[in-house]
A and B are shown apart, each in its own frame.
Chain A
């Protein structure tokens, strides 16, 4: 062991034959290899995404065709409806966006991109996934307990969530809290690994400004998560005690304070948006530089903007609470900080456009996803201004305008950003190319229906359609025929979009067997992961870990014949 540490070149040589003797269980299920753990997170996230998408299908059908027997679910009762929307939100944010964007890409990319053989703590990494997996099972189990799954919305506002007499889900609400708390522990363990690995285990020669933007962004996102989730962990303990041992932290009937939960929740909840946004932004940066064959415009500015976003994201949380009875003077402060935070994000978008400007652009499938991310996220960002300004938020609060707004932020992040990353790194993950025609079909089949779902919901929200209502037939002013038509448009578009995901899954799995061999560097990219074999073996570079000589974005350098200049090639 000591020998392999001193001579990096021998480490992989030791490992490689050992690898073949491993059983299926120790190679794929209890592996400590960062790439296997990344795949575990990716596949678990995809499976949870299917469940979350199915929930959306069930409750959207109820909204478009009230009282109809939904194929695959049956009658959606009011209690079903509440637990479906609650768990759709919970799953999509905590069990899809987080595991895929932070954990799957973080695990796969950080060691490969900074040129080391694994995470610094591989066993803690494995433990992190195991806790995460248990948390997913715990959450799903809540659908099978007496009273059913929690239905008090993914924000779990008390007193509804704190008192079973109100929520009517005595076990479901506690299971929800436990599952979320376990998930937080999993990501704290993973985040500590990511941060320490990126800080300490970089390849010789890789200075701070030579680290690819996506690694920086995943690390900053992990720090944001770590710094924001503590109060909510404390809040989750308090909520669990309110539910189960009779404390009254949040129940106003006994001297508790329900607004306290809102502060604890959103102090985490708003930085959380940036926790998932930053990795998607980073993935986009990697893709557009490769497919525009241009150096990233203003690397350092992007970096400082990322830090600025991170700091500001801790000062905006109360914009979720403008109508919760907070002091109007405080609302002014939070309006200002909220409008301020749109500046760094807008700056990133401008930087990406400047990177594209004058580049020789290839519209490959990953590039289409990356461009769509910038375009669609922009709509989400711009509609956020209406909600960040306390004056207009009082009107829009809790309408479908809010819902459409945050789907225009989270969908580009969690779905478009993920597809961008998966289609871009697929050759490295599995050693094969995906089918480009099917990839483009899936792209248009996802992005067009996505807009057809949420543009009608913007219109409905602006017309005053309130959220979390089971059946709009009970509200004469909200059941005008044109409104019901728009609801049906959104629902049909959702069904089309879900159907189009079959194309992706076919392409994803069929390409593993039938795809064209990818080679080490199919996109002619500079970053270190493309210098390893596809897929990289355990230890990543059995022939010896790479050294780094330059930054990651030296494309189309005037002194070079090739239009790229890998980081590991000596000058």
Chain B
């Protein structure tokens, strides 16, 4: 049973949305730690650029495009849930976002497969260690987001818990933003 505490909004923000923001705050420092470590090492070791040159900017750019586009359908799903009260439409749009996440992961899998088969493994050089670790932690967030969205979409299709469409959307935008930091730092910086 929901406690009365859960229904109060002394801060003026719905409790669930407030909690999502705090989850993101804690995530920011996790990615912040990885990226700050990488940046410190990268600036101290200019020779890593030779390794970084082997990353494929075009594949990275395509994935950036896919991921950002998937956020569009998350926004439309939020609109459908909040302004049109149309849970079925919101669920369909969330399905599109999940599809975007799936394409992102498939492309990433293909990319990693190619790189590993060319000898660029997680052990081969500190740059590649950071490359796989940072993108790997990010990919685990993509997977988590897809699973969460599947649950939210299942409820939304029945018209239940429509406010969660917005919450899962906020989380998905965060996953996007992390990638926007990873893409230039891992792919473009040579």
Interface residues of A (CB under 8 A from B): 1, 4-5, 8, 11, 15, 111, 116-122, 188, 191-193, 195-197, 199-202, 206, 226-235, 237-238, 241, 245-249, 254-257, 260, 263-264, 267, 539, 545
7 additional contacts (CB under 8 A) given A116-B3, A121-B19: A121-B6, A200-B11, A233-B33, A237-B133, A238-B34, A246-B123, A263-B40
- Please tell me if B109 contacts chain A, counting CB pairs below 8 Å: no
| Shortest distance between the CB of B112 and any CB in chain A (Å) | 14
Q: Which of B13, B18, B27 contacts A230 (CB 8 A)?
A: B27
Contact B8 A116 (CB under 8 A): yes
| Shortest distance between the CB of B42 and any CB in chain A (Å) | 11
Residue of B nearest to A264 (CB): B33
Complex-state Cα separation, A1 to B7, whole angstroms: 12
Complex-state Cα separation, A470 to B10, whole angstroms: 56
- Please tell me if B143 contacts chain A, counting CB pairs below 8 Å: no
Top 10 closest pairs, chain A to chain B, by CB: A230-B29, A231-B33, A234-B33, A118-B3, A201-B5, A116-B5, A230-B30, A247-B129, A199-B11, A246-B123
- Please tell me if B61 contacts chain A, counting CB pairs below 8 Å: no
Chain A residues near B33 (CB-CB < 8 A): 230-235, 264, 267
Complex-state Cα separation, A229 to B29, whole angstroms: 8
Interface mask (B4-39 → A, CB under 8 Å = 1, otherwise 0) = 111111110101001100110111111111101100
Complex-state Cα separation, A428 to B31, whole angstroms: 42
Complex-state Cα separation, A188 to B29, whole angstroms: 12
Complex-state Cα separation, A5 to B44, whole angstroms: 58
| Shortest distance between the CB of B48 and any CB in chain A (Å) | 9
Best-buried of B2, B31, B32, B123 by chain A (most CB within 10 Å): B2
Complex-state Cα separation, A245 to B19, whole angstroms: 35
Complex-state Cα separation, A257 to B40, whole angstroms: 10
Q: Which of A188, A193, A201, A545 contacts B26 (CB 8 A)?
A: A188
Residue of A nearest to B122 (CB): A247
Contact B22 A226 (CB under 8 A): yes
Contact B37 A264 (CB under 8 A): yes
Interface mask (B116-154 → A, CB under 8 Å = 1, otherwise 0) = 000000110110011001000100000000000000000
Residue of A nearest to B47 (CB): A255
- Determine chain B's interface SS by DSSP, over half rule: helix
Complex-state Cα separation, A107 to B143, whole angstroms: 32
| Shortest distance between the CB of B171 and any CB in chain A (Å) | 13
Contact B126 A255 (CB under 8 A): yes
Chain B residues near A196 (CB-CB < 8 A): 15, 18-19, 22
- Please tell me if B50 contacts chain A, counting CB pairs below 8 Å: no
Q: Which of B8, B29, B32, B126 contacts A200 (CB 8 A)?
A: B8
Contact B22 A201 (CB under 8 A): no
Query: Could you show 27 A-B contacts with beta carbons less than 8 Å apart?
Result: A1-B2, A111-B5, A116-B3, A118-B4, A119-B5, A121-B19, A122-B3, A188-B26, A195-B22, A228-B29, A230-B26, A230-B27, A230-B29, A230-B31, A230-B33, A231-B30, A233-B33, A234-B30, A238-B129, A241-B122, A241-B129, A246-B123, A247-B129, A248-B126, A249-B37, A255-B45, A267-B33
Contact B29 A227 (CB under 8 A): yes
Complex-state Cα separation, A196 to B23, whole angstroms: 11
Chain A residues near B22 (CB-CB < 8 A): 191-192, 195-196, 226
Chain B residues near A193 (CB-CB < 8 A): 19
Chain A residues near B137 (CB-CB < 8 A): 234, 237
| Shortest distance between the CB of A33 and any CB in chain B (Å) | 10
Complex-state Cα separation, A111 to B8, whole angstroms: 12
Chain A residues near B129 (CB-CB < 8 A): 238, 241, 247-249
Contact B41 A260 (CB under 8 A): yes
Complex-state Cα separation, A255 to B124, whole angstroms: 11
Chain A residues near B123 (CB-CB < 8 A): 245-248
| Shortest distance between the CB of B95 and any CB in chain A (Å) | 27
Complex-state Cα separation, A539 to B19, whole angstroms: 22
Contact B23 A234 (CB under 8 A): no
Chain B residues near A245 (CB-CB < 8 A): 122-123
Contact A120 B3 (CB under 8 A): yes
Residue of B nearest to A11 (CB): B4
Chain A residues near B30 (CB-CB < 8 A): 230-231, 233-234
Complex-state Cα separation, A232 to B37, whole angstroms: 11
Q: Count residues of B near A (Cβ-Cβ below 8 Å).
A: 41
Residue of A nearest to B32 (CB): A230
Complex-state Cα separation, A255 to B15, whole angstroms: 46
Complex-state Cα separation, A111 to B4, whole angstroms: 11
Chain A residues near B27 (CB-CB < 8 A): 230
Residue of A nearest to B130 (CB): A249
Complex-state Cα separation, A414 to B36, whole angstroms: 32
Best-buried of B4, B13, B26, B36 by chain A (most CB within 10 Å): B4
| Shortest distance between the CB of A122 and any CB in chain B (Å) | 6
Chain B residues near A226 (CB-CB < 8 A): 22, 25-26, 29
Contact A118 B5 (CB under 8 A): yes
Chain A residues near B122 (CB-CB < 8 A): 241, 245-247
Complex-state Cα separation, A162 to B1, whole angstroms: 46
Chain B residues near A111 (CB-CB < 8 A): 5
Chain A residues near B130 (CB-CB < 8 A): 249
Chain B residues near A247 (CB-CB < 8 A): 122-123, 126, 129, 133
Chain B residues near A234 (CB-CB < 8 A): 30-31, 33-34, 37, 137
Chain B residues near A267 (CB-CB < 8 A): 33
| Shortest distance between the CB of B102 and any CB in chain A (Å) | 24
Chain A residues near B32 (CB-CB < 8 A): 230-231
Contact B37 A120 (CB under 8 A): no
Contact A241 B133 (CB under 8 A): yes
| Shortest distance between the CB of A14 and any CB in chain B (Å) | 8
Contact A120 B11 (CB under 8 A): no
Residue of A nearest to B36 (CB): A231
Contact A120 B19 (CB under 8 A): yes
Complex-state Cα separation, A95 to B71, whole angstroms: 40
Chain B residues near A199 (CB-CB < 8 A): 10-11, 18
Chain B residues near A228 (CB-CB < 8 A): 29
| Shortest distance between the CB of B118 and any CB in chain A (Å) | 18
Chain B residues near A8 (CB-CB < 8 A): 4
Q: Which of B4, B10, B26, B37 contacts A260 (CB 8 A)?
A: B37
Contact A202 B10 (CB under 8 A): yes
Chain B residues near A231 (CB-CB < 8 A): 29-30, 32-33, 36-37
Complex-state Cα separation, A159 to B36, whole angstroms: 20
Contact A117 B19 (CB under 8 A): no
Complex-state Cα separation, A256 to B44, whole angstroms: 12
